[in-house]
Structure 1
Amino acid sequence: MRFKATFLSLVLMAATVFASVVPGTTTKADQPVKAVIDTNLTKTLLTAIGPVEAIVTFKSNKGVLPEQLQLLKNAGISKGLALESLPIAGILATKSEIEKLSQSDQVLSIYLNKTLQYENAVSTDLTGVDKVRTDDKMRKLNGGFPVTGKGIGVVINDSGVDGTHKDLEYGSHLVQNVIGSTNLHAVDALLPVTYLEGVPNTDNNSGHGTHVAGIVGGTGASSGGKYEGVAPGANLIGYGSGAALAILDTIGGFDYALTHQQQYNIRVITNSWGDTSDSSTDFDPYNPINVATKRLYDRGIVTVFSAGNSGPNAKTISGNYKKAPWVVTVAAGDKSGKLADFSSRGEEGRGGTVTVNGQTWRWADRPTVTSPGVDIISTRAISPIPLLGATDDAQYIEPAYVPFYTTMSGTSMAAPHVAGIIALMYEVNPLLSPSEVKSALETTATSMPDYEAWEVGAGYVNAYKAVDTAFKK
């Protein structure tokens, strides 16, 4: 009972901290007096019989330090994975072990390793990408060559990528393919994270990540260029977590991007997943996903998120981390330039300010922009999986191409469109900061007068104007 009372007091302490992040208010996110304990973790611990999966974020500007690993051991924790570039570790721990760990002044926060979901529910001409490729003025500005995102590294943080597909050929276009699933129950010690690299096909269970990768930068090789992606010249890096997905898996993708940024010139990471139970929440600066995306921002990497598929109701953006002021969150539009009914909305007037690392930011409960997400044709995983969009495929795809392409809808398809456009922007101006990229996307978006900003953000993304703005920066 004494532990339960202690933990309930920690819940109240954390709730007090989070309650201060409301519209028009300011909260400090630099150094909380005590470790912030996730309320979901606390509730789980109160009924758990054995150890639970948790994510510890340390106060560090590097990866997990040796003394922090020792801190875990001193708390009695013997199983877990420590990330390489982020100060984050996934652990298996009991109530008493987490209580002891939470007393350390080296710990920023401890969160439950929650389960997440992938967000499923002709597009390049809608966004202006075709004009980017064919416009003579833009070709001349780019040294005589079409703008294709050449050499820009884009991480596909998803279910995996099938690099046996000609449009996503492993070793040339797909420059790296990684299996990154983090199964804490499979470890028997406190270990550094390991990534299985060089796997030609990491998407043998859903096809979701392969479809996303094709939208970002498929070459169209299997269709004579007909179903080319947004940035076919980009260097794609697949980070696959499989069909089962949890928070630590996704953070592993962020960690991989940081660790290998220089090797692959990584400037963008696209994420088409979320948590519907985290929809009506305020931005939480202590959440490990927000810690990770802020670190990417500081290193010049733009994080792109799908908004979620729980529309048309308000307050449905699937994750407080999609409200972070340093990320780009994308709603889904249809081929007529309207907002898809399924696309998640924010909430009118909801937002606030937060101070992180001495800098004050304003966050808002809204997408950044809208891009195509309805009946999107892209690469089909070749491995033997169900036909994802069989009915729509017959309607929209020529029979000769059905073995190589499929149709899907969702904000999962909208986010990679914008990730590809950002790769185009970085090709023409690699000196852009993530804040300049986000600003350019917003200021050049096409107005959607039938909707409010909390529904569609700045409007329908306009690739041509965004790339033109990047040229002029």
Structure 2
Amino acid sequence: MDTATFLHLLNEEISLTTRSDKKHVIHFPSTKDYYACRSQLKRMKSSHTHLSKVRDLGIIHAFSCTLRADSKLKAISGATVIKEDTRITVHRVLGKKNTVRRAIFAGSQTIPWGVNQIDAPEAWGKSVGQSVRIGVIDTGIDYNHPDLRTSIARGVNLLNRSMLPYDDNGHGTHIAGTIAATGRHTGIVGVAPRAIIHPVKAFDYNGSAYVSDIIAGIDWCVQNDLDVINMSFGMKTYNRSLEQAVMNAYFKGKVIVASSGNDGKRKTVDYPARFPQVVSVGATTRLGKIAPFSNRGKQIDVYAPGERIYSSWLHGKYNELSGTSMATAHVSGVIALMLSIKPSLGPLQIKNILRRCASNLGKRESLRWRPGQINARRALSALK
């Protein structure tokens, strides 16, 4: 393909877009064409101002940008495949409007029930997740929360690269607290209180994102050599680009953890949790039963606490939320405990240990294996 001509046309098409137009992902006919176009793009950006709006999705060898629905580029046969981008949302069960509050046990440290139930405190004598780096692709983080200040490292705001990934929704801050909060004298303690959170803001204040932003987030985590990628969100429909990004991260040795969804479905889970390269997580209640809202099915690898989970919130506050998102955060924390002891563990090894060491949920009705609830103490013991 003639990359210069294509980019001239792309620059012109972007200049004609309006606010109502949607994001698209541009796939190239070959890896060679992608790299040629990427090199040409770098040369042309300074003289073609609209090309600065093109995002390079290196992990899947594609570009993303806003285009008109009837863009002329779509008519160029054989050159590229251009598909409209898809929306994706965080996994959260909406609770009461007045759930935001100060710490229940003011003046004392709080270990949330979920952290206790998975035996994390019993594992802290062996590991607290020291130096394990976790990318939380979500709504950002509250940088000023007292329980998170020592847990946060460099992140990225994919919605506005010139800004820090500040949380304007709360979901990302809640997830980060369950993974790695370090409440010293007051506040809460997460599953892996010495793990490092890298906030990747891909979701807006409504908890909504484009798949291309998720892919860019996965790419950023891989480029920055993070150990674990927490993805507490999902969608119903299969997306080839998302699968490609997940597979490429997996083959680079990244452990990807994703939530199954909150529709109460008995035989299916959302994407990306449905991909076999992902640790797929369902939610349990305080009584150790599968939560009614949790999706379940043969794709689930492990369950974790997800009902009324108490964690950090915006403006230094705390909040109770329910959802498979919250369960996923517990699992990412346990993986951090494991990797701190044995950094050489691969994604498949970790998944197998988590599945094998999970606590039974209810009675075994047959000899067939069923996913259980994650157990930090057992998982660490298995590393011997």
TM-score, reference length from structure 2: 0.78
For residue 448 of structure 1, report the CA deviation from its aligned partner. 2.1
Provide the rounded CA distance (Å) in 2 between the counterparts of 1:273 and 1:215. Answer: 16
State the partner residue of 1:82.
56
Aligned AA for 1:123? G
Q: Which residue number in structure 1 is paired with residue 256 of structure 2?
A: 303
Structure 1 counterpart of 2:145, from 165, 168, 172: 165
1:62 and 1:87 in contact (8 A); partners too? no
Q: Secondary structure at the match of 1:291?
A: helix
Listed as ranges, the gaps of 5+ residues in structure 1 are 1-49, 140-146, 183-194, 347-364, 383-402
Provide the C-alpha distance between the structure 2 equivalents of 1:159 and 1:63, rounded to a whole number of angstroms: 34
Shift of 1:449: 4.1
Contact 1:234–1:423 (CA under 8 A) maintained in structure 2: yes
Q: Equivalent residue of 2:199, what SS?
A: strand
- 1: CA distance, partners of 2:145 / 2:334: 22
Q: Distance in 1 between matches of 2:293 and 2:55?
A: 37
1:293–1:61 CA distance, 2 compared to 1 (3 A): farther
Distance 1:155 1:64, change over 3 A: farther
How many angstroms apart in 1 are the aligned matches of 2:218 and 2:193? 23
Which residue number in structure 2 is paired with residue 36 of structure 1?
A: none
RMSD across aligned C-alpha pairs, in angstroms? 3.1
Rounded Cα–Cα distance in structure 2 between residues aligned with 1:433 and 1:102: 41
The answer (yes or no) to whether the contact 2:273–2:281 under 8 Å persists in 1 is no
- Structure 1 partner of 2:124: 133
Structure 1 residues 457 and 223, CA, compared in 2 at 3 Å: closer, same or farther? farther
Task: Say if 1:379 and 1:404, in contact at 8 Å, map to a contact too.
Answer: yes
Q: Quick check: 419-428 or 59-68, which moved more? A: 59-68
2:36 to 63, 66, 79: 66
| Residue of structure 2 aligned with 1:270, choices 217, 220, 230 | 230
- Where does structure 2 lack aligned partners over 5 or more consecutive residues? 1-19, 45-49, 94-112
Distance across 2 between alignment mates of 1:60 and 1:441 = 38
Return closer, same or farther for 1:411/1:181 CA change in 2, 3 Å cut-off.
same
- Is 2:317 aligned against 1:317? no
Deviation, structure 1 residue 367:
1.3
2:323 corresponds to 1:377: no
Matches within 5 A, 1:185-196: 195-196=161-162
TM-superposed CA distance for 1:273, in Å, is 1.2
Q: Indicate how the Cα distance of structure 1 residues 464 and 111 shifts in structure 2: closer, same or farther if over 3 A, else same.
A: farther
Give the counterpart of 1:119 among 91, 94, 97.
Answer: 91
Instruction: Tell me, in whole angstroms, the C-alpha distance in 1 between the residues paired with 2:131 and 2:224.
Output: 14
Change (3 A) 1:406 1:52: closer
Q: Within 2, Cα distance between the matches of 1:315 and 1:102?
A: 40
Matched, 1:292 2:274: no
Summarize the alignment of residues 139-154 of structure 1 with structure 2, pairs less than 5 Å apart.
Answer: 139=126, 147-154=127-134
SS in 2 for 1:236: strand
Q: Which residue of 2 aligns with 1:252?
A: 216
Secondary structure of 2:153's match?
strand
Aligned mates of 1:342, 1:62 — CA distance in 2: 46
SS of the residue 1:323 aligns to: coil
In the alignment, residue 302 of structure 2 is paired with which amino acid?
V
Verify the 8 A CA contact 1:366 1:457 in the aligned structure 2. no
State whether residues 149 and 426 of structure 1, in contact with CA within 8 Å, keep that contact through their aligned partners in structure 2: yes
Q: Which residue of 2 aligns with 1:413?
A: 326
Question: Deviations along 1:108-164, whole A, 9 cap, x unmatched?
Answer: x65431111111111111112111014xxxx3xxxxxxx111011001100010111
Aligned match for 2:183, one of 206, 209, 220: 220
Residue number in structure 2 paired with 1:355: none
Instruction: Determine whether 1:338 maps to 2:338.
Output: no
Q: How does 1:92-103 map to 2 (within 5 A)?
A: 92-94=66-68, 95=70, 97=72, 99-100=74-75, 103=78
CA distance 1:419–1:57, change in 2 (3 Å): farther
**SS at the partner of 1:116?**
strand
CA distance in 2, matches of 1:222, 1:253: 34
Give the secondary-structure state (helix, strand or coil) at the position aligned to 1:245: strand
Q: Quick one: structure 1 residues 457 and 405, their matched pair in 2 at CA, closer, same or farther if it must change by over 3 Å?
A: farther
Q: Is the 8 A contact 2:229 2:254 kept in 1?
A: yes
Aligned identity (percent) is 29
AA aligned opposite 2:241: P
Per-residue deviation, 1:52: 3.9
In structure 2, the CA distance between the partners of 1:66 and 1:317, relative to structure 1 (3 Å rule), is same
- Give the whole-Å Cα distance in 2 for the aligned partners of 1:273 and 1:152: 22
Instruction: Report the equivalent of 1:386.
Output: none
Distance 1:110 1:457, change over 3 A: farther
For residues 296-352 of structure 1, what are the alpha-carbon distances to aligned partners after superposition, in whole Å with 9 as ceiling and x for unaligned? 1111111111111000x3345222x32211111100101111000000123xxxxxx
- Partners of 1:53 and 1:180 lie apart in 2 by 14
Q: Are the aligned partners of 1:57 and 1:288 in contact in 2 as well (CA < 8 Å)? A: no
* Correspondence 1:56 to 2:26: yes
Q: Conserved in 1, the CA contact under 8 Å of 2:134 and 2:230? A: yes
Q: Identify the residue that residue 279 of structure 2 maps to in structure 1.
A: 328
C-alpha contact (below 8 Å) 1:64/1:85 kept by paired residues: no
Cα distance in 1 between the residues matched to 2:287 and 2:359: 13
Partner of residue 206 from structure 1, selected from 169, 193, 213: 169
Amino acid at match of 2:307: V
Q: Secondary structure at the match of 2:325?
A: helix
Distance 2:328 2:221 in 1: 18
Amino acid paired to 1:317? V
Counterpart in the other structure of 1:387: none
Aligned AA (2:66): L
Does the aligned pair in 1 maintain the 2:135–2:198 contact within 8 Å?
Answer: yes
Aligned equivalent of 2:158, options 180, 201, 205: 180
Cα distance in 2 for residues equivalent to 1:327 and 1:235? 21
Please tell me whether the aligned partners of residues 178 and 202 of structure 1 are also in contact (alpha carbons under 8 angstroms).
no
